[in-house]
């Protein structure tokens, strides 16, 4: 299980590795200098406060660290953490041989990325290529996809069609006949796909942007 302590300990170690205190790391990342202070990790009524994805992303950018480096720090303090998940280039995902009929990673050719334990043992990662998903996802960003997670309106999803096209979109609406998708980049059109044209759809549960 991924815990509050694992994440904060990893942030502390990230700061230490770069000769910074938690306050200095926050300031270097363009955040309020108290963002990563120990006093901010629990509310006055005892509730745990977690660092946001945005604050972690800014800390990584400020230190030049990669997502997999941070996740290795998380896993280091969590013996039950899943060490790696399969990683594939976004363009490759549309070619044959990388997924089984259930939309789960299969075959050879996958790389790996360090990532903490997730509920879906079939989760996989895709590396974004190009600018078609700007401004949300940039070239080189990594998204982690859960093919078994429930998908609801407004979720960001990766869809693979029967013809091998792969796209990251926002689910606008799903009926028994069609799947309506909103483009993440306003320069690209929204899509409406017949259900039978979709080979698999998975929810994006993490991104490195």
pLDDT in tens, 53-62: 899 999 999 9
Is the model's pLDDT at 185 over the cut of 60? yes
* DSSP helix/strand/coil, 190: coil
- Spatial neighbors of 201 by CB under 8 A, at least 6 apart, are 103, 151, 157, 158, 159, 160, 171, 179
Cα(128)–Cα(143) distance, integer angstroms = 8
- Spatial neighbors of 56 by CB under 8 A, at least 6 apart, are 7, 11, 70
Is the model's pLDDT at 89 over the cut of 70? yes
Mean pLDDT check: name the lowest of 68-77, 157-166, 189-198: 68-77
Judge if pTM exceeds 0.75: no
Q: Name the percent of the chain lying above pLDDT 90.
A: 60
pLDDT, average across residues 95-123:
83
Cα(23)–Cα(26) distance, integer angstroms = 5
* DSSP helix/strand/coil, 122: coil
Chain center to CA of 46: 29
Q: What's the pLDDT score for residue 159?
A: 96
Kindly list the structural domains of the chain, giving each domain's residue range(s) and its CATH number in brackets, ordered by start. 4-76 (1.10.260.40), 84-207 (2.10.109.10)
Q: Which residue has the higher pLDDT, 135 or 119?
A: 135
Q: What's the pLDDT score for residue 191?
A: 96
- Spatial neighbors of 162 by CB under 8 A, at least 6 apart, are 196, 197, 198, 199
Cα(106)–Cα(100) distance, integer angstroms = 6
Q: Which residue has the higher pLDDT, 14 or 78?
A: 14
Give the strand pairing for 178-183 and 166-174.
Answer: antiparallel
Q: What's the pLDDT score for residue 200?
A: 94
The total number of residues shown for the chain amounts to 209
Q: How confident is the model at residue 68 (pLDDT cuts 50, 70, 90)?
A: confident
Q: What's the pLDDT score for residue 131?
A: 85
Q: What's the pLDDT score for residue 2?
A: 67
Give CA separation, 106 vs 5, 85, 131, 196, in Å: 33, 12, 27, 22
């Amino acid at each position: 299980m991924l815990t509050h302590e694992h994440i904060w300990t990893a942030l502390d170690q990230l700061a230490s590795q770069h000769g910074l205190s938690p306050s200095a790391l926050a300031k270097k990342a363009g955040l309020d200098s108290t963002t990563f202070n120990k006093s901010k990790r629990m509310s006055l009524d005892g509730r745990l406060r977690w660092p946001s994805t945005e604050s972690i992303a800014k800390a990584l950018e400020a230190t030049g660290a990669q997502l997999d480096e941070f996740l290795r720090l998380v896993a280091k303090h969590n013996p039950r953490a899943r060490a790696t998940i399969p990683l594939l280039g976004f363009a490759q995902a549309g070619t044959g041989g990388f997924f089984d009929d259930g939309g789960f990673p299969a075959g050879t050719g996958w790389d790996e990325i360090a990532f903490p334990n997730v509920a879906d043992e079939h989760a996989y990662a895709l590396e974004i290529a190009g600018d078609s998903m700007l401004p949300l996802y940039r070239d080189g960003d990594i998204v982690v996809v859960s093919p078994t997670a429930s998908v609801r309106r407004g979720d960001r999803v990766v869809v693979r069609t029967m013809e091998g096209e792969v796209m990251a979109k926002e689910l606008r609406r799903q009926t028994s006949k069609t799947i309506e998708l909103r483009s993440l980049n306003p320069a690209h059109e929204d899509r409406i796909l017949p259900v039978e044209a979709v080979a698999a759809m998975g929810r994006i549960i993490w991104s490195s942007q």
